[in-house]
Amino acid sequence: MPILSKPKHEIIANALASGKSQAEAYRAAGYVYKPANASRLCRRPSIEARVREIISERANSEAKAREIGLERAALTEEWIILRVKHVIDLSIRGLPVHDRSGNPTGVFKPDLDAAISGLKLAAKIAGLLIHRHEIDQAGDFARMTDAELDRALFEQFKALGLSDRSLKEIRASAFAD
């Protein structure tokens, strides 16, 4: 989509794409703020489409810049994984212990906290570490009966827009056990 034909509309689209409110975008374009007018103008399909395009362009250019930066720094996924493994190995093996004179004693002291942190990072990179948390009040599901859980689940399915036919199929397969 090309730049909007009206410069003020382009200013509004850029301001909205930058995360400004409708009021701020409307004022940035030089208009005197009136909520109804600002809302109507900001919801125009051409402006909304331009905002989406600007956001997409910015995301693409940021991704390209990040890619170029990583390329220049020679940071690849393999490099990072190798370094994480190396740090974990060093942490487990530990650093050499020195006597009062500064001479190595031949003993190594492991840094298990660093090793555990490294292992957590490696697990996260590998997709093995998943953080789970409840969105509503803690323990809500634990206090529900099976019938209440069933009802809540199917309400969520309906909220997602699943058809009655799909709900019947899910219910049939869930209770076939």
* Alpha-carbon gap, residue 84 to 81, rounded angstroms: 5
- Whole-number mean pLDDT of the chain? 85
**What pLDDT digit, counting tens, does each position of 120-164 carry?**
888 888 888 776 655 666 666 777 888 888 888 778 877 777 777
* Alpha-carbon gap, residue 55 to 49, rounded angstroms: 10
**What phi and psi, each to the nearest 5 degrees, are found at residue 138?**
-60, 130
Higher pLDDT, 172 or 6: 6
* Alpha-carbon gap, residue 82 to 172, rounded angstroms: 48
- % pLDDT > 70, the chain: 92
Cβ–Cβ < 8 Å for 47, 25: no
Residue 156: per-residue pLDDT: 81
Residue 14: per-residue pLDDT: 93
Highest mean pLDDT among 54-68, 124-138, 158-172: 54-68
The model's pTM is: 0.43
